[in-house]
Amino acid sequence: MKLISIVGARPQIIKAAALSRIIRQKYSNVITEIIVHTGQHYDENMSKVFFKELEIPLPKYNLNIGSAIHGKQTARMILGLEEVLMKEKPDYVVLFGDTNSTLAGAISASKLQVSIVHVEAGLRSYNKKMPEEINRILCDHVSTFLFAPNKKAVTNLEKEGFDTSHRSNFSIDQPGIFNVGDIMFDNFLYYSQMPFNSIQCKKKLQNEYILATIHRDHNTDNAENLRNIFKALLYIANQFSIDIKIPLHPRTMKCMSENLPQALLRKIDNSIYIQKLPPVSFMEMIELEKNAKLIITDSGGVQKEAYFFNKPCIILRKETEWTEILETGMALLCGADYRKIVDAYGVYDEINTRNFPKIFGDGNTAELICDILIKNKKKEKLVNHN
Ligand code: UD1
Ligand code: UDP
């Protein structure tokens, strides 16, 4: 059975690591995986570092598409992917999450009638102004296997008219929907137990600190939102004398210099508490998450990792796809609202009761996905044979 996994952006490379690892460990006699990188993310610390550190096989194809406005970027990816798919003729195309690389993969594969496997299907923010919401809806609706990370995602698909009861003869018209848990939880369990020997990182982590990441276009490209977020971070850091470590996405780095007033930029640079970092590797990131007092983020993945590590999370968004986390009370939606962010810090600084029930599956998502695909292929062969 031949799979093509399409990756492009940082979180997809990280998610693909879990699937590739299990294919290598358990299914190498049945599954051949080819990785295709669209090149959406291309800086060493946004792409290559993860292949090396997480031991992901190097992509057989890198389309080197790079950055561009949505339509241009997606169109270029489709052109490249179409050629690869026609040449390789895979049984399945595996798509992760909701980036433009996911959308390009969905369009290319569905038009060539290659069955799509969507990992992280059914997530919805119900905010169609988010490019990711458009990408995930479109991808789900042309997929044959929709692997949902939780019950809520299955319910979201039911609301859109998907029949979740199909258990055989899957096709784009009769897709299979499976609640298999969250593939990022597989990675969390695997990598958080590995020894991490960066003395430099350990030294950096001696003081109590908050970890923050910001990269959503709604926060970076909107000057008012970016200003409110950084003003709130600066206030919390100075008022509570607590370090804030911020690994900066390249988009944010660029937007800070374009969208923040000089005076605020100077205050950030002069603060002894604010530590701007370049994007860090995954092992460094989970070390930073593990030891943080609290996490402030607009990232989907980092929200969940905060939860995996039992850390309260201030979410810099007005809505989230991961509503189960909100229901536990261990995360608060604050958008880019200065007052809400500062108040949320006060709430989590005070409370001692922490409640993180297990809601992301058993950490065997990649294995469940492979088992379902293999079983399906066997059935297809039997039907064709008869
Ligand atoms: C993309 C995804 C987003 C995901 C994020 C993960 C879409 C629409 N968005 O957002 O869902 O959460 O990746 O990190 O697909 N840049 C660099 N070097 C790089 C990559 C990007 O400098 O290696 C800069 C460029 O200025 C680029 C900007 O970041 O224009 C945005 O990159 P892009 O891939 O378009 O979107 P992200 O914000 O990274
Ligand atoms: N991450 C990382 N280094 C960083 C920031 C994030 O390795 O400097 C990891 C993080 O641990 C998580 C994933 O990247 O696994 C989340 O990606 P990102 O926040 O870019 O995108 P999103 O999840 O919002 O789509």
Q: Where are the domains of the chain?
A: 2-182+361-385, 199-350
* CATH topology (fold) of 2-182+361-385: Rossmann fold (3.40.50)
- Tokens standing for 5? 């996994």
For residue 255, the ligand closest to its alpha carbon is 1
CATH superfamily of 199-350: Glycogen Phosphorylase B; (3.40.50.2000)
Does the pLDDT value for residue 203 go beyond 90?
A: no
Scan for tokens 């003869």, then name that residue.
169
**Radius of gyration of the chain, Cα coordinates, nearest whole angstrom:** 21
CB 60 within 8 A of CB 108: no
Whether 199-350 and 2-182+361-385 are alike in CATH topology: the answer is yes
Please name the helix (run of DSSP H) or strand (run of DSSP E) that holds residue 176, with its range, or none. Answer: strand 176-179
pLDDT for the residue 376: 95
Angle, helix 70-88 to helix 100-111, in steps of 10 degrees? 40
Banded model confidence at residue 198, pLDDT cuts 50, 70, 90: low
Q: Which of 41, 215, 218, 249 is catalytic?
A: 215
Give pTM, 2 decimals.
0.97
**Is residue 215 annotated as a catalytic residue, yes or no?**
yes
Residue having the nearest C-alpha atom to atom 19 of ligand 1: 41
Q: How far apart are the first and last CA of the chain?
A: 20
Q: Tens of pLDDT along 210-223?
A: 999 999 999 999 99
CA of 295 to the centre of ligand 1 (A): 21
Q: Tens of pLDDT along 140-178?
A: 999 999 999 999 999 999 999 999 999 899 999 999 999
pLDDT > 70 fraction of the chain, expressed in percent and rounded = 98
Local structure of 375: helix, strand or coil: helix
pLDDT for the residue 64: 98
**CA-to-CA distance for 214 and 227, rounded, in angstroms?**
12
**CA-to-CA distance for 289 and 310, rounded, in angstroms?**
10
Ligand 1 in reach of 349 Cβ (< 6 A): no
For residue 43, the ligand closest to its alpha carbon is 1
Does the pLDDT value for residue 236 go beyond 60?
A: yes
**ipTM of the complex in this document:** 0.99
Q: Tens of pLDDT along 272-329?
A: 999 999 999 999 999 999 999 999 999 999 999 999 999 999 999 999 999 999 999 9
Residue having the nearest C-alpha atom to atom 17 of ligand 2: 11
**CA-to-CA distance for 378 and 383, rounded, in angstroms?**
9
